[in-house]
């Protein structure tokens, strides 16, 4: 007795027990996309140095450097070899964890990255956790308070506040937070990474904007779900309101929230660059800006690659989470 009418074919297959196949199709498709994306990323990072107009080595060493020195440096970097060999060399290096040597410090790029990555990673993960933990309760609460056109004043306040907070870029928010909590109140440190309190401002700067956007989405999605027939069924069961909102409505509002949350999280990966520079945070973000300014191209290349991988990883995690939460959507897509 499986559903035949009025359901997409994929769902019917799913019900018939073609589950395994659908999952394999999803995994293959997703893996394919990941591999292509990583390849594009690698190639772009490789191409970056060659797209720079003029000679990057000359740019690093300055106009006064002797031609011999430039030639020697070119040889060190392998830039005197044919492009395809450089490309092969680069790919080989990436897969063996060798991203070349920093022009500035002479240290291996991989070593610099592994020193700096944890600070950035922790910042991003904490900020995302804070954003989600703020956004979901606030969004749910707002949907309940303002459902069916109630409490219009609260709705207006919430919407305009969240629009404005969501539109302010994280580094400006960071400056404002520094001013309020560092300069004015003197409660929190405003630079460097030391004790737990040094995390507060950077994490908040990164989290507040996405939290505002996410809370708005949670509210809108919840309002849509609260209109659904099955919520009426839940009400007809005379469940407690909290059970209706949290057990019946919220899980069905999560899909869209997570999709957007993924976008926000990958934007947050990039947002760390600016926030780290406001707070002199010893992570990848401050390193990449310094190395861009110093024209330390191997280091820039390596960090760009790491950020790119971070974004791809976030997208992958979100897609898999979506597939697990809402199997029908994943399978329909593949």
Partner 1 sequence: MTATSTSTAAPPEPVIRAPRSGPAARWLAVLRSPVGAGAGLLLAAVLIMAVLAPILWTDDATKIDTNAIAQGSSSAHWVGTDALGRDLFFRVLVATRLSIELALLATVIAVVAGLILGTLPALVGRRLGRLVTALVNIAVAFPGLLLALFFAVVFGIGAKGAVLAIGFAGAPAFARLGQTLVAGVIERDYIAAARIAGVGRFRIMVRHVLPNIAEPLVVNATIGAGGALLGFAGLSFLGLGVQAPSYDWGRLLGEGLNGIYVHPAAALAPGVAVVIAGLAFNLFGEAVAKGLGQSVVVGHLPPLPRRRSARASGPARSAPSDSHSDTVLEVRDLTVTFPGPAGPVRPVRGVSLSIRRGEAIGVVGESGSGKSLTALALAQLIEEPGRVEAAQLDFLGADLTAGARAHRHLLGTSFAMVFQDPMTSFNPSRRIGGQLAELVREHGGLSRAEARGRAVDRLRAVRVPAPERRVRQYPHEFSGGMRQRAMIALGMMGTPALIVADEPTTALDVTVQRQVLRLLDSIRTADDVAILLISHDVAVVGQVCERVLVMYAGRIVEDLPSAELLTGALHPYTRALVAAVPDMRTDLRQPLAVIPGRPVSPAEQPRGCAFAPRCPLATDKCEQEDPALVAHGPGHFVACWHAHG
Please report, as residue ranges, which positions from 41 to 100 form the binding site for partner 1 (by CB under 8 A). Answer: 44, 48, 51-53
Given 62, 148, 153, 194, the residue binding partner 1 (CB under 8 A): 148
What is the smallest separation between the CB atom of 234 and partner 1, expressed in angstroms?
Answer: 7
**H/E segment holding residue 13:** helix 9-16
CA angle at 289 for the pair 288 and 290, rounded to the nearest 5°:
90
Task: Specify the residue, 40 or 107, whose C-beta has the smaller distance to partner 1.
Answer: 40
Whether 214 contacts 133, CB under 8 Å: no
Whether 198 contacts 126, CB under 8 Å: no
Residues 153-192 that bind partner 1 (CB under 8 A): 163-164, 167-169, 171-172, 175-176, 178-179, 182-183, 190
11 binds partner 1 (CB under 8 A): yes
First CA to last CA across the chain, in angstroms? 25
Whether 235 contacts 244, CB under 8 Å: yes
Distance CA 41, CA 36 (A): 9
- The mark string for 246-265 relative to partner 1 (x by CB under 8 A, - otherwise) is -xx--xx-------------
273 binds partner 1 (CB under 8 A): yes
112 binds partner 1 (CB under 8 A): no
Measured between alpha carbons, how far is residue 155 from residues 224, 231, 251 in Å?
Answer: 15, 22, 23
Written as six digits, the tokens of 60 are 């690093």
Distance CA 24, CA 44 (A): 30
What is the smallest separation between the CB atom of 188 and partner 1, expressed in angstroms?
Answer: 13
Nearest to 332 by CA among 6, 23, 1, 20: 23
Which range of residues in 66-74, 115-123, 127-135, 293-301 is near partner 1 by CB under 8 A? Answer: 293-301
Cite the beta strand spans of the chain per DSSP E: none
324 binds partner 1 (CB under 8 A): no
Task: Specify the residue, 2 or 111, whose C-beta has the smaller distance to partner 1.
Answer: 2
What is the smallest separation between the CB atom of 15 and partner 1, expressed in angstroms?
Answer: 5
Task: Specify the residue, 130 or 288, whose C-beta has the smaller distance to partner 1.
Answer: 288
Residues 284, 288, 294, 295, CA torsion sign: positive
Count of positions (residues) in the chain: 334
Given 29, 85, 232, 313, the residue binding partner 1 (CB under 8 A): 232
What is the smallest separation between the CB atom of 321 and partner 1, expressed in angstroms?
Answer: 14
Written as six digits, the tokens of 290 are 């310094």
Given 70, 121, 220, 267, the residue binding partner 1 (CB under 8 A): 267
Written as six digits, the tokens of 93 are 């290096």
315 binds partner 1 (CB under 8 A): yes
What is the smallest separation between the CB atom of 148 and partner 1, expressed in angstroms?
Answer: 5
Given 65, 69, 228, 317, the residue binding partner 1 (CB under 8 A): 228
Given 67, 195, 240, 242, the residue binding partner 1 (CB under 8 A): 240
Given 237, 246, 313, 317, the residue binding partner 1 (CB under 8 A): 237
Whether 83 contacts 50, CB under 8 Å: yes
């Amino acid at each position: 007795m499986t559903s035949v009418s009025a359901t997409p074919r994929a769902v019917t297959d799913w019900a018939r027990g073609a589950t395994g196949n659908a999952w394999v199709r999803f995994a293959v498709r997703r893996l394919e996309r990941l591999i292509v994306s990583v390849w594009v990323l690698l190639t772009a990072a490789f191409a970056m140095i060659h797209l720079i107009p003029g000679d990057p080595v000359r740019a690093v060493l300055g106009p006064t450097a002797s031609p011999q020195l430039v030639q020697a440096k070119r040889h060190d970097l392998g830039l005197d070899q044919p492009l395809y060999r450089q490309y092969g060399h680069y790919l080989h290096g990436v897969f063996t964890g060798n991203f070349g040597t920093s022009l500035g410090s002479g240290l291996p790029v991989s070593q610099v990255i592994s020193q700096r990555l944890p600070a950035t990673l922790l910042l991003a993960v904490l900020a995302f956790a804070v954003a989600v933990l703020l956004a979901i309760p606030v969004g749910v609460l707002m949907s309940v308070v303002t459902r069916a056109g109630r409490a219009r004043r609260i709705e207006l306040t919430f919407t305009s506040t969240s629009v404005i907070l969501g539109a302010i870029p994280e580094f400006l928010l960071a400056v404002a937070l520094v001013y309020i909590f560092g300069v004015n109140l003197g409660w929190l440190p405003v630079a460097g990474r030391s004790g737990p309190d040094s995390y507060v401002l950077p994490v908040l700067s990164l989290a507040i904007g996405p939290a505002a956007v996410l809370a708005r989405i949670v509210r809108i999605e919840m309002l849509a779900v609260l209109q659904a027939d099955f919520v009426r069924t839940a009400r007809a069961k005379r469940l407690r309101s909290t059970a209706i909102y949290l057990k019946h409505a919220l899980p069905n509002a999560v899909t869209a929230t997570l999709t957007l949350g993924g976008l926000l999280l990958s934007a947050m990966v990039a947002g760390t660059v600016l926030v780290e520079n406001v707070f002199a945070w010893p992570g990848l973000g401050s390193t990449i800006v310094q190395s861009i300014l110093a024209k330390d191209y191997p280091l820039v290349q390596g960090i760009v690659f790491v950020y790119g991988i971070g974004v791809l990883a976030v997208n992958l995690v979100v897609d898999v989470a979506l597939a697990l939460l809402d199997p029908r959507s994943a399978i329909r897509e593949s």
